[in-house]
Structure formats: structure tokens, C-alpha cells
Structure 1
Amino acid sequence: METIMTISGKVKYTITLEPSVWIFDDRRIDLTTYFLTKKGNYDSLEDYTKSVSKHWDREIMEGAIYPPTLKTEKKFEKEKVLTGTFGIPFKPFLANSEPADDAHTLVIHSTDGEYEVPFESAFDLILAFSDTGKPLIADGPVHVYFGDGSNQQDPIKNVSGFTVK
């Protein structure tokens, strides 16, 4: 199984995707709860600002030396990464490829066939890359979920790449 995929076609930049490194990406989402929560407009800059602000407030209140509770939280986060089921939004990768203005379809290439998604919906896709802490080796490297979770029980598997048309 090839683990490297590309976004190609009507794009300014061909993007190479390597799912095995996404476990370290702060944009990863927990798929066990993602489709259960209501989604509003996601603003990564706002989330980042809140995160940095929270960290700064904590340093002001408790000092730069990590208290035992923060060490425990870090241990919990490490454990969560090793046992969690994660995905990552497709939007940043698609946006970085700078699709052409006349792009109308995203084709998802899979060994099971090709799936066409309207281009506007492609920005909402979620790429699952980990199941209970393990990479998706048997039917991966990623599973593709629609943003609304409509294919949550039957995601697109065995994905080999993406083409913008």
C-alpha cells in the first residue's frame, strides 16, 4: 500500500500528502466526538489565539515552571495520541494547492473506484488517518468522510489521490 497521495489537476501547486506525520499536527481532530458535536464556522486563527492566550494566562498565574497538574495533562495528551482515532480537515491542503477559479469537481481516486464530489463540498471533507492509535494500513492510508458525517458508517477507503477538475 502506498501511503503518499497527491492533490493534482487544476491546481497551481501539486500537493503531496503524507498521513503518517499528521499525528503531530495540531489540526488533527478526534473522530470519536467530531460528528457528535455541532459545527459552527471553524476559525483556526481564533482557536490558536485562544490557545496561546490560555497558555499565557496560566504562566502568569502559576509561573513558567510546570505544576504537577500540567505534567499530568501532558501525559494524558500523549496517551490520547497513542490510543485515539483521528482525522484531519482537507480544507487547508486543498486551499494551499490554489485550485483554479473554474474548478468544479474533486475526484477521489480509490482502488474501489473514483468518487466525484462537488468542489464546494470538498472543503468540508475529513481525512481519517488513525484508528485506536494505529495507522489505517489495511484499507488506507486514509478514509474520507463528508463534513456532514453522512457517510460516517461507510467512508471512502483505499484512497490513492485527489484530482481537481
Structure 2
Amino acid sequence: MEKIILITGQVKFPITLDPGVWIFDDRKIDLTTHFTAKQEQVDELLEYTKSVSKHWDREIMEGSIYPPTLKTEKKFIKEKVLFGTFAIPFKPFLDNAEPNQSANVVVIKSLNEEVEIPLDKAKDLILGFSANGKPVNNGPVHVYFGDGSNQKNPIINVREFLIR
């Protein structure tokens, strides 16, 4: 029971989170480069169009047979997942819980402390769940602020997000 996290309080849908399955989630981000990399807004439609165009060009030039380089690319991705340090944005989970109109604070409850954050800043939180291919120590997640100000000292032993 200590490996799950709850989102409760003034929400339409209370949610139970299991960080053990996030390694398979496409929304995961590489925590080692997230705060140091230059953040830029991505136009999803433009990125999708570029990826489809690239795939189309590849099929025209090489045919629909996968070249041998794809096997090595898959191996690299597999190794990255097995040994990487990953996190996931908190915003999709918060949006799915649908906080009430009167809610304005998120209380992060851990074993040792409670941290209150305004609801609009909580949408930028990042939940670290994997360190070097293993679940984080003092987990199930470490909470990082979106600006990375607590990168060296994240909130650990998180058990619940209470929306007030």
C-alpha cells in the first residue's frame, strides 16, 4: 500500500497513482536533462507532421523494409529505459482529477511533512519515479518544482496530494 499515491480532497474524481507502471508511459521525461535542457514550446501538430514526413521519405528512399539500423535503435531505447532516471509531469493527473472551482491549494503529504503549493504552481510539478533504472529511494516518488528550484532537495516519501 505504500507504493501508491492518492489524489484526494476537493476533486470530482479521486485518483490512485501507481508509479510502478509509469516506465511504460510515453509522457515520461528524462530527469537528468530536464532541468538543464533549454525548455521550448512544442507544436504537437507540427512535430507529428514532421515525423510522418520523415517516415514517408524513408519509405520512398529505402522501401518499406526496415533497415538494419532500426534494430540498434530499439536496443538503445531498451537500455535507456533499463538504466535511465525518469519523471512524469503531474499536470495530466491533476487535470483528470478535476479539482473543484473552490480549490486553490495542493497539499503534498509525505511521511515527515506537509507542503502547501498554489494550485496553478502545482500543475508544473514533476514526479520523479526512477533513478538509474530502479524505483527511487524514499519513494514512491520525489516531487520537483517545475522551475527546478528544489532539484537538490526534492520532497520525498510522498503519500498523498490533497486538493483544498
Measured after TM superposition, the shift of residue 58 of structure 1 is 3.4
Q: Distance in 2 between matches of 1:51 and 1:8?
A: 40
Can you list the C-alpha shifts for 1:15-50, whole angstroms capped at 9, x where unaligned?
A: 11100000000110001100001223356x448725
SS in 2 for 1:162: strand
* TM-score, normalised by the number of residues in structure 2: 0.91
Measured after TM superposition, the shift of residue 68 of structure 1 is 1.1
List aligned pairs for 1:75-114, cutoff 5 A.
Answer: 75-114=75-114
CA radius of gyration, larger in? 2
SS in 2 for 1:77: helix
Q: Percent identity?
A: 62
List aligned pairs for 1:54-133, cutoff 5 A.
Answer: 54-133=54-133
Q: Deviation above 6 Å: which 4+ runs of structure 1?
A: none
The answer to whether 1:6 aligns with 2:6 is: yes
- Structure 1 gap segments, 5+ residues each: none
- Give the equivalent residue in structure 1 for 2:29: 29
Let me know the Cα RMSD of the aligned residues. Answer: 1.9
Task: Report the more deviating stretch, 60-69 or 141-150.
Answer: 60-69
SS in 2 for 1:128: strand
- Give the equivalent residue in structure 1 for 2:138: 139
SS in 1 for 2:38: coil
Q: Distance in 2 between matches of 1:30 and 1:18?
A: 19
Q: Distance in 2 between matches of 1:55 and 1:4?
A: 39
Q: Distance in 1 between matches of 2:77 and 2:131?
A: 16
Q: How many residues are aligned here?
A: 163
